[in-house]
């Protein structure tokens, strides 16, 4: 079957670094994406990894290890506005109608 596992909740202190892990199970894996969703808002795209390694975009970085079926989102210099839900999602080759399968999301709370 297809599934993604990520922690349901994470709490971190403002200014700190937090890592949100995501493990997945599927065949025909194509790439791993991360989305941020604030309460009352729609998901916004953060990053995408098709190849192993680290992708950096400002304070956010995303990592993928295809051999381990594992990825993570790293948030540095945490700010209060980073409090949101973060979803990992994978894309499957050849699945046609299933471009993204989402994890259940990790609720990040940034505290002072």
Partner 1 sequence: SAVISQKPSRDICQRGTSLTIQCQVDSQVTMMFWYRQQPGQSLTLIATANQGSEATYESGFVIDKFPISRPNLTFSTLTVSNMSPEDSSIYLCSVMLQTFSGNTIYFGEGSWLTVV
| Interacting residues with partner 1 between 29 and 88 (CB under 8 A) | 31, 33, 35, 41-45, 48-50, 55, 87
Closest distance between partner 1 and the C-beta of residue 10, in Å? 16
3-state SS of 49-84 is ECCCEEEEECCEEEEEECCCCEEEEEECCCCHHHCE
- 41 burial via Cβ count (<10 Å: 0-12, 13-18, 19+): exposed
- Selected from 17, 54, 80, 100, the binder of partner 1 by CB under 8 A is 100
x-marked contacts with partner 1 along 2-31 as a string, rule CB under 8 A? -----------------------------x
- Residue 93 in the binding site for partner 1 (CB under 8 A): no
**Other C-beta atoms lying within 10 Å of the C-beta of residue 25:** 12
| CB-nearer residue toward partner 1: 26 or 33 | 33
Which CA distances in Å does 45 have to 16, 35, 67, 68, 94?
22, 5, 24, 23, 22
Residues in the site for partner 1, rule: CB under 8 A? Answer: 31, 33, 35, 41-45, 48-50, 55, 87, 89, 91, 96-105
């Amino acid at each position: 079957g297809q599934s993604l596992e990520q922690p349901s909740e994470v709490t971190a202190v403002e200014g700190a670094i937090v890592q949100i892990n995501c493990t997945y199970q599927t065949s025909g894996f194509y790439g791993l994406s991360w989305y941020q969703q604030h309460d009352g808002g729609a998901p916004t795209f953060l990053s995408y990894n098709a190849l192993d390694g680290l992708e950096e975009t400002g304070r956010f970085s995303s990592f993928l290890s295809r051999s381990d079926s594992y990825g993570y989102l790293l948030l540095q210099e945490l700010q209060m506005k980073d409090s949101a839900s973060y979803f990992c999602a994978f894309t499957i080759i050849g699945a046609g109608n299933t471009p993204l399968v989402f994890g259940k999301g990790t609720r990040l709370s940034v505290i002072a």
